[in-house]
Amino acid sequence: MNLRPYQQEAVDNLRAAFRSAFRAPVLQLPTGGGKTIIFCHIAQSAAAKGNNVLILVHRRELIIQTSKALARLDLAHGVIAPGYKKNNAAIQVASVQTLVRRLHLIDFYPSLIIIDEAHHAVASTWDKILLHYDKAKLLGVTATPERLDGKGLEEHFDLLVKGPTVKFLIQNSFLSNLKVYTLPIVLSRSLIKIKNKDFDPEESAQSLEDAGINGDAITEYTKRCPNKPAIVFCCNIRHAKQMADRFIKAGYKAAALVSKGVGPLERAQMIEDLGNGNLDVITSIDIISEGTDIPVVTTAILLRPTESLTIYLQQVGRVLRPAPDKEFAYIIDCVGNVQKHGMPQQDRDWSLEGTPKKDKSPPVFICQSCYAAFERESLKWPVICPYCGHEHWPAEKPEEEPGVALKVDLVEVEENENIITQHDRKKLIAKATCLEDFIEIGKLMDYKPGWAHIAWKERKAKISQAEWKPPSKPIKYRKFNMSEIMKQAGIPEPPWGK
Ligand SMILES: [Zn+2]
């Protein structure tokens, strides 16, 4: 099986990283970019050189997926998980939970450990395994190099290798085009209690119910993309079951795919049914947010507010895979996750230290007529909705909805859109690239007319200085970035840049 050009680049970059004496690079590749095929190729070449390779995964579905990918490359491998017989192949795919129990019984010593969904590799079970094999090289792969608590992966990894962006993959048809919609009613996230660093699931479900958002989610689905295969991400098991019942009452074929009371075979059947039209809707918590490959899924309905960028991106990532007859993927965000974390295709400045806070203010604009969410292309007013053509001017306020429940706060959208904070101002200015941009910002901020000219003069001076900078100082070990490594290794820059 041939790799796509950007996948080959990723393989080359990882090899260059190992050659440059990094012991533990982590590859960031958007969901749907084909990370399994990339690390299987790496495993193949490592095994061909006589090395043992251990591939660590944390879900049963991922074992099956990885085993299938290895089989497609004709690679002999074993599986360390319940129900599989032991063999002596050089490549072993292991369930983390099983391996940690059998660690001292297994005489398999990998020189390379590949960790799929590496943002999980911080729990104590992973630590035990990595300590046990402390001589092995590590390769992590993930779409979201950020732990669920927002921290980075620097504890285990020493270099972040970035793959292409979501935008690049969409533009080149490796991922589906998408439409993002929000609800006219905004969930008041600030009123929900935080528990274990995220919104309390019980309270979240109750707030959604109180505000009538659970019902609205079904209305929106019917309005935007009825009967298109959908996953509904819910707050807890009870919420998932209630939502499945509601979809059934509304005339859809729906089922709740939850961990309790649903066996692996039944789960696999549900996923198949969603693919073949026997089901319209699967409701779930997170059991299908990661690693489950269902290209046909078209719609993600977000009914779980989350503070975790990783959870949000893993959820929306489920629907971005292209499939025949799939013109668009639909995200129906009922809980303000898009406003909080930005558009799914937004460029993100990932680093081993986690996502910088400054990146988290998203340039999302919500249309006050059709409630589509989109990235605002310029600073100019009016902002025209690309979906319905509605013109927005700075002073426009969202229409008041009569009869809105107590926990609902319509002001939130208005604040997001029209009040420019100090932080936004800095960001706008940083983005400005010509005098015209500065004049626009000046108008937006009510600055004196001369400001734009002075600001632009200063910027121009900085630009010309930057161009004439002498070559940078020697770089320290941890400060390496991919461009430099590639320069040293003589590899040209990938088309998606730094
Ligand atoms: Zn619109």
State phi, psi for 139 to the nearest 5 degrees.
-135, 120
Q: Is pLDDT above 80 for 309?
A: yes
Which residue from 188, 220, 214 is spatially nearest to 406, judged by alpha carbons? 188
In the predicted model, what is the mean pLDDT of residues 259-272?
84
In the predicted model, what is the mean pLDDT of residues 300-327?
92
Query: Residues near 257 by Cβ (< 8 Å), separated by ≥ 6?
Result: 240, 267, 270, 271, 282, 283, 284, 287, 288
Please report the pLDDT score of residue 151 as a whole number: 81
Cβ atoms 335, 208 nearer than 8 A = yes
Which residue from 138, 139, 144 is spatially nearest to 29, judged by alpha carbons? 144
Q: Is pLDDT above 80 for 476?
A: no
Q: Is pLDDT above 70 for 475?
A: no
Cβ atoms 322, 295 nearer than 8 A = yes
CA end-to-end span of the chain, whole Å? 28
Q: Ligand 1 centre and the CA of 434: distance in Å? A: 29
* Beta strand residue intervals within 75-215, DSSP E: 77-80, 91-95, 112-116, 137-142, 159-162, 178-182, 194-195, 198-199
Query: Residues near 408 by Cβ (< 8 Å), separated by ≥ 6?
Result: 185, 186, 187, 188, 211
For the beta sheet containing 77-80, the strands, ordered from the edge strand earlier in sequence to the opposite edge, are: 77-80, 91-95, 53-57, 112-116, 137-142, 25-28, 159-162
Cα separation of 423 and 49, whole Å?
52
In the predicted model, what is the mean pLDDT of residues 402-416?
31
Q: Ligand 1 centre and the CA of 386: distance in Å? A: 7
Q: Is pLDDT above 80 for 444?
A: no
- Which has the higher per-residue pLDDT, 219 or 359? 219
Q: Ligand 1 centre and the CA of 367: distance in Å? A: 5
* Beta strand residue intervals within 117-177, DSSP E: 137-142, 159-162
Q: Is pLDDT above 50 for 407?
A: no
Q: Ligand 1 centre and the CA of 395: distance in Å? A: 17
Which residues fall inside 5 Å of ion ligand 1, going by CB? 367, 369-370, 372, 385, 387-388, 390
Q: Is pLDDT above 70 for 62?
A: yes
In the predicted model, what is the mean pLDDT of residues 446-455?
75
Q: Ligand 1 centre and the CA of 440: distance in Å? A: 23
Query: Residues near 490 by Cβ (< 8 Å), separated by ≥ 6?
Result: none
| pLDDT tens-place string over residues 123-135 | 778 889 999 999 9
* Beta strand residue intervals within 323-461, DSSP E: 329-333, 364-366, 372-375, 383-384, 391-392
Identify the structural domains of the chain with CATH numbers, from first to last: 5-165 (3.40.50.300), 178-346+363-416 (3.40.50.300), 420-475 (no CATH)
Q: Ligand 1 centre and the CA of 211: distance in Å? A: 23
* Beta strand residue intervals within 172-326, DSSP E: 178-182, 194-195, 198-199, 230-233, 254-257, 281-284, 299-302
pLDDT band at 435 (very low <50, low <70, confident <90, very high): confident
Q: Is pLDDT above 50 for 406?
A: no
Q: Ligand 1 centre and the CA of 298: distance in Å? A: 21
* Beta strand residue intervals within 67-175, DSSP E: 77-80, 91-95, 112-116, 137-142, 159-162
Q: Ligand 1 centre and the CA of 177: distance in Å? A: 17
In the predicted model, what is the mean pLDDT of residues 167-190?
93
Please report the pLDDT score of residue 342 as a whole number: 92
Distance from the Cα of residue 418 to its chain's centroid: 27
Which residue from 216, 435, 170, 237 is spatially nearest to 333, judged by alpha carbons? 216
Q: Ligand 1 centre and the CA of 368: distance in Å? A: 7
Q: Ligand 1 centre and the CA of 413: distance in Å? A: 14
Q: Ligand 1 centre and the CA of 332: distance in Å? A: 14
pLDDT band at 362 (very low <50, low <70, confident <90, very high): low
| Region of poorest pLDDT, from 243-252, 331-340, 390-399 | 390-399
Please report the pLDDT score of residue 471 as a whole number: 37
Q: Ligand 1 centre and the CA of 361: distance in Å? A: 22
Q: Ligand 1 centre and the CA of 392: distance in Å? A: 10
Cβ atoms 330, 319 nearer than 8 A = yes
In the predicted model, what is the mean pLDDT of residues 141-157?
86
pLDDT band at 418 (very low <50, low <70, confident <90, very high): very low
Query: Residues near 457 by Cβ (< 8 Å), separated by ≥ 6?
Result: none
Q: Ligand 1 centre and the CA of 289: distance in Å? A: 28
Q: Ligand 1 centre and the CA of 210: distance in Å? A: 27
Q: Ligand 1 centre and the CA of 225: distance in Å? A: 16
Q: For tokens 């004709």, what's the residue?
A: 74
Q: Ligand 1 centre and the CA of 179: distance in Å? A: 11
Chain mean pLDDT for the chain: 83
Cβ atoms 381, 394 nearer than 8 A = yes
DSSP code, position 470: P
Q: Ligand 1 centre and the CA of 109: distance in Å? A: 57
Q: Ligand 1 centre and the CA of 174: distance in Å? A: 27
What is the three-state SS of 368-392?
A: CCCCEEEECCCCCCCEECCCCCCEE
In the predicted model, what is the mean pLDDT of residues 100-125?
89
Q: Ligand 1 centre and the CA of 474: distance in Å? A: 51
Q: Ligand 1 centre and the CA of 370: distance in Å? A: 4
In the predicted model, what is the mean pLDDT of residues 234-250?
97
State the pTM of this model.
0.76
Q: Ligand 1 centre and the CA of 18: distance in Å? A: 48
Q: Is pLDDT above 80 for 155?
A: yes
pLDDT band at 433 (very low <50, low <70, confident <90, very high): confident
The three-class DSSP label of residue 340 is helix
Please report the pLDDT score of residue 325 as a whole number: 86
Which residue from 93, 79, 95 is spatially nearest to 43, judged by alpha carbons? 93
Q: Is pLDDT above 70 for 485?
A: no
Q: Ligand 1 centre and the CA of 31: distance in Å? A: 28
For residue 126, give Cα distances in angstroms to 56, 142, 232, 304.
9, 15, 30, 27
Q: Ligand 1 centre and the CA of 257: distance in Å? A: 33
Q: Ligand 1 centre and the CA of 387: distance in Å? A: 5
Per cent of the chain over pLDDT 90 is 55
Cα separation of 440 and 472, whole Å?
35
Q: Ligand 1 centre and the CA of 220: distance in Å? A: 14
Cα separation of 139 and 36, whole Å?
12
| pLDDT tens-place string over residues 373-405 | 998 877 788 999 999 999 998 865 444 433 333
Q: For tokens 């107590």, what's the residue?
A: 406
Q: Is pLDDT above 80 for 412?
A: no
Q: Is pLDDT above 70 for 330?
A: yes
The three-class DSSP label of residue 479 is helix
For residue 99, give Cα distances in angstroms to 81, 120, 139, 210, 211.
7, 16, 18, 45, 45
Q: Ligand 1 centre and the CA of 396: distance in Å? A: 14
Cα separation of 153 and 354, whole Å?
7
Burial degree of 104 (CB within 10 A; 0-12, 13-18, 19+) = exposed
Q: Ligand 1 centre and the CA of 250: distance in Å? A: 26
Q: Ligand 1 centre and the CA of 316: distance in Å? A: 21
Q: Is pLDDT above 70 for 486?
A: no
